[in-house]
């Protein structure tokens, strides 16, 4: 059963800015076991995703609702990190593929849906549904940005 997601306190990111609340991806048993914390910044440290390649994230001296600076990252980099994490935890194919509005959140809150997925596709994804929710959400955000050629701003 997926419980209500509590918002952790802000932390400092690698750019020295306060970041938005961060999911516990590095504490997911499968991710920690495989040393995947290094991919965390590609997945999480952004304020804006752009559907174009960037060699490095752009750090703009523009505050936003969550940070002292705005970090612009390539959706390609976020997608690669999210796909890798999704593969490691075994994200089930029943996870909504095209997420409009709150569809992905509703799926994770639906105990019948997640239980059915766990029965047919058991795996590490069931060990921490909150972290799995974030992997799926960031995966779909990066895919959405690239498929629709649209930037995404974390608000």
Q: What are the tens digits of pLDDT across the range 100-146?
A: 768 888 999 999 999 999 999 999 999 989 889 989 999 999 999 99
Domain count, the chain: 1
- Establish if 4 belongs to a structural domain: no
Look at residues 34, 80, 85 and name the one whose alpha carbon lies nearest to residue 54.
Answer: 80
- Establish if 45 belongs to a structural domain: yes
The answer on pLDDT for 32 being more than 50 is yes
Is the torsion defined by CA of 91, 128, 78, 153 positive or negative?
positive
- Establish if 8 belongs to a structural domain: no
Mean pLDDT of 14-38: 48
- Establish if 20 belongs to a structural domain: no
Token pair listed for 90: 């075994």
The answer on pLDDT for 10 being more than 80 is no
- Predicted TM-score (pTM) of the model is 0.75
The answer on pLDDT for 20 being more than 80 is no
pLDDT at 7: 34
Containing structural domain, residue 115: 25-153
- Establish if 5 belongs to a structural domain: no
Token pair listed for 23: 């999911």
- Establish if 108 belongs to a structural domain: yes
pLDDT at 39: 59
13 or 83, higher pLDDT = 83
Residues 6 or more apart in contact with residue 101 via CB below 8 angstroms: none
Q: What are the tens digits of pLDDT across the range 42-93?
A: 778 889 999 999 999 999 999 988 888 999 999 999 999 999 999 999 999 9
Q: Supply the mean pLDDT for the chain.
A: 78
pLDDT at 1: 30
- Establish if 148 belongs to a structural domain: yes
- Establish if 46 belongs to a structural domain: yes
For the beta sheet containing 58-60, the strands, ordered from the edge strand earlier in sequence to the opposite edge, are 58-60, 70-74, 48-50, 152-153
**Continuous segment of H or E residues that includes residue 82:** helix 75-89
pLDDT at 93: 94
């Amino acid at each position: 059963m997926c419980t209500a997601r509590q918002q952790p306190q802000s932390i400092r990111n690698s750019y020295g800015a306060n970041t938005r609340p961060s999911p516990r991806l590095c504490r997911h048993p499968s991710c920690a076991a495989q040393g995947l914390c290094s991919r965390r910044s590609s997945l999480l440290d952004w304020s804006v995703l752009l559907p174009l390649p960037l060699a490095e994230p752009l750090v703009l001296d523009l505050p936003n609702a969550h940070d002292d600076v705005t970090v612009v990252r390539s959706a390609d980099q976020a997608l690669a990190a999210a796909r890798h994490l999704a593969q490691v935890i075994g994200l089930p194919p029943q996870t909504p593929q095209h997420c409009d509005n709150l569809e992905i959140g509703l799926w994770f809150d639906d105990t019948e849906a997640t239980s059915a997925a766990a029965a047919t596709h058991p795996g590490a994804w069931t060990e921490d549904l909150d972290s799995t929710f974030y992997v799926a959400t960031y995966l779909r955000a990066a895919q959405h940005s690239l498929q629709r050629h649209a930037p995404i701003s974390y608000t």
